[in-house]
Amino acid sequence: MTMIKVLTILTLIFGLLSCDRIKRKTEQVTNNVKTRTKEEIERQTKRVVDTILPTFNHDKPDTENNKERFKDFIKVEITPDVKNIYCFDDAIGIDADYMFSFDCNSSTSNKIIEVNGLELDTVNSDNGFYIQHDFDWWNKEKIAKLAKYSWTNGDRFFKYYWYDKKNGKAYFFEFDL
């Protein structure tokens, strides 16, 4: 046999084996999809959608969406003292802002300050109220009287945080320009 015939036969054998392997893998994937429950598919779909376009429930506290956004943005565990979580996003256009209001104790508030690298801001008197939205749970008059903690990466991304010790109420505002 010539070398060309041997190579041709080997190529055909490997090609057939590869096709069979592809066919088996395709059948395996198809069977996996068929055996998934409707709930599993819905959970996976929700995870994908939440990653691309997360849901914020500004009109109802403590929803699963609000709890997830709290973890995503504020980056601390939701302990039993954290409740009445409201949040809102305005991420349309070239800038974005995110507002959170919730109840918590001083210990949780201190953890939020630490985890987010916030520092007491006695220099910047601009609270960003002009880009914030009006909600019953976001009291700008009350917020203006509280000490502000802030963090920035320069001039494009900002985090502001206020905590009302007397009422155990926290306000978190994140935005970019």
Across 11-20, 101-110, 124-133, the highest mean pLDDT is recorded for: 101-110
Distance between CA atoms of residues 27 and 47, nearest Å? 26
What is the reported pLDDT for 30?
67
Span 32-49, average pLDDT: 74
Tell whether the model's pLDDT for residue 7 goes beyond 80.
no
> 10 Å Cβ neighbour count for 67?
17
Helix (H, G, I), strand (E, B) or coil at 54: coil
> 10 Å Cβ neighbour count for 63?
16
Distance between CA atoms of residues 39 and 29, nearest Å? 18
What is the reported pLDDT for 12?
62
- The model's pLDDT over 148-167, given as tens digits with 9 standing for 90+, comes to 999 999 888 999 999 999 99
Distance between CA atoms of residues 33 and 44, nearest Å? 12
Nearest to 173 by CA among 160, 154, 158: 160
What is the reported pLDDT for 109?
98
Distance between CA atoms of residues 117 and 130, nearest Å? 24
Distance between CA atoms of residues 39 and 128, nearest Å? 42
Tell whether the model's pLDDT for residue 118 goes beyond 70.
yes
> 10 Å Cβ neighbour count for 89?
19
Whole-number mean pLDDT of the chain? 88
Distance between CA atoms of residues 45 and 48, nearest Å? 5
Distance of CA 34 to the CA centre of its chain: 30
Range with lowest mean pLDDT among 52-61, 69-78, 110-119: 52-61
What is the reported pLDDT for 18?
63
Tell whether the model's pLDDT for residue 113 goes beyond 90.
yes
- The model's pLDDT over 72-88, given as tens digits with 9 standing for 90+, comes to 999 999 999 999 999 99
Angle at 85 between CA 80 and CA 86, to 5 degrees: 180
Span 139-149, average pLDDT: 96
Tell whether the model's pLDDT for residue 35 goes beyond 80.
no
